[in-house]
Structure 1
Amino acid sequence: MTPTYVRKRKRPQGSGVWSAYLLETDAFGNWFYTPARSLFRSNDGEYCELAQLGPGGPGEHCVQLAPHDGWWFAYFRYSGFLHVDVSTPPALVGDEWTFVDLELDPFRRPDGTVGTEDWDELAQAHAGGLISDAERAAAEHAARTLENAFAQDTEPFGTAGWDRLAAAVALGLPPLTNLADRPLA
């Protein structure tokens, strides 16, 4: 299985890139898998492990979903934590899947707690002209819709993502650590 790349962009500048195995494409979107101990590189050249359990790592197994037309990018983490970057719709640009982070981060913790972080960051980015009125409205709508879907276990946030994560871990694929050919920005 050949890895692909995912790039998360921040405005006005900044990005991070990591590798992932494309598992499949279905009605929900494109499913990716990044094994535990895989690396993430920021645009300043610093490395850390993707899906860290805490500051300094280690990283955990993570299945990601880029929806066909949604304003988000989801992470199903081995610890049971579901996290979403509300973003511009993910798109394949060249050989990288890319999206622009719109600050909001809906989540569902393993104990079932649902919420969204970083409303203040969205407001600041909007006030600073980094996020347009249309993007702000789309981000707010996406966060509320995702919170509801998490609370209701609406697929793909019911069992679909977790089933793909279990199946991906069982493949025994090696961590992805080579990002040398990826540009920093």
Structure 2
Amino acid sequence: MSVVVLLAPGRPWVAWWVDDPADRRLEIDVCLPPEATEAGWRYVDLELDPVLHMRDSRVEIEDWDEYEQACRDGWMSPDEAKIAQVTAEDRAGALRRRDEPWQERGWQMLSQQV
């Protein structure tokens, strides 16, 4: 399936427009800010994923169980855990409001690729 990814240095999230015929969606990977490398980009996933399901406009934050395990097992520092939770809630709110121009831009870019 086709996807478009939007990321930027310094921002603790990455947007994925996923053209899945069974569940077209806009996913947000909450993460440590992405870093450019010689091979492309990399980022550390902080587990929580706000998702807008286009079929029914439902927004949910996925992977709470993975987040809780990462916190419990020490894979994520308390500061990273706080960033993850605050960012996930903020981005879920933005997905519900649909008030940011970048949200539509990804779908436009995806339609040009197909």
- Do they fold alike, i.e. is TM over 0.5? yes
CA offsets per residue over residues 119-164 of structure 1, 9 Å max, x none? Answer: 121121112111011111111111011101101113222x111111
Distance 1:149 1:161 in 2: 15
* Residue segments in structure 2 that go unaligned for 5+ positions in a row: none
In the aligned structure 2, how far is the partner of 1:147 from the partner of 1:67? Answer: 18
> 1:65 Cα deviation (Å)?
0.7
Identity across the alignment (%):
34
1:90-128 CA distance string (max 9 Å, x none) = 111222200111111110001100010111211211121
Q: Distance in 2 between matches of 1:109 and 1:67?
A: 23
Q: Which has the higher helix share?
A: 2
Task: State the TM-score, normalizing by the size of structure 2.
Answer: 0.87
Q: How does 1:158-173 map to 2 (within 5 A)?
A: 159-169=104-114
Q: 4+ residue runs of structure 1 moved beyond 3 angstroms?
A: none
Q: Could you tell me how far 1:64 is from its partner in structure 2?
A: 0.6
Query: Residue 131 of structure 1 aligns with which residue?
Result: 76
Larger radius of gyration: 1
Bigger strand fraction: 1
CA deviations 1:5-32 (Å, max 9, x no partner) are xxxxxxxxxxxxxxxxxxxxxxxxxxxx
- Corresponding residue of 1:151: 96
Q: What 5-or-longer segments of structure 1 have no aligned partner? A: 1-59, 170-185
TM-score (norm 1): 0.56
> CA separation in 1, counterparts of 2:87 and 2:8?
12
Q: What does 1:73-112 align with in structure 2 at a 5 Å threshold?
A: 73-79=14-20, 80-110=24-54, 111-112=56-57
SS of 1:100's equivalent? coil
Q: Secondary structure at the match of 1:68?
A: coil
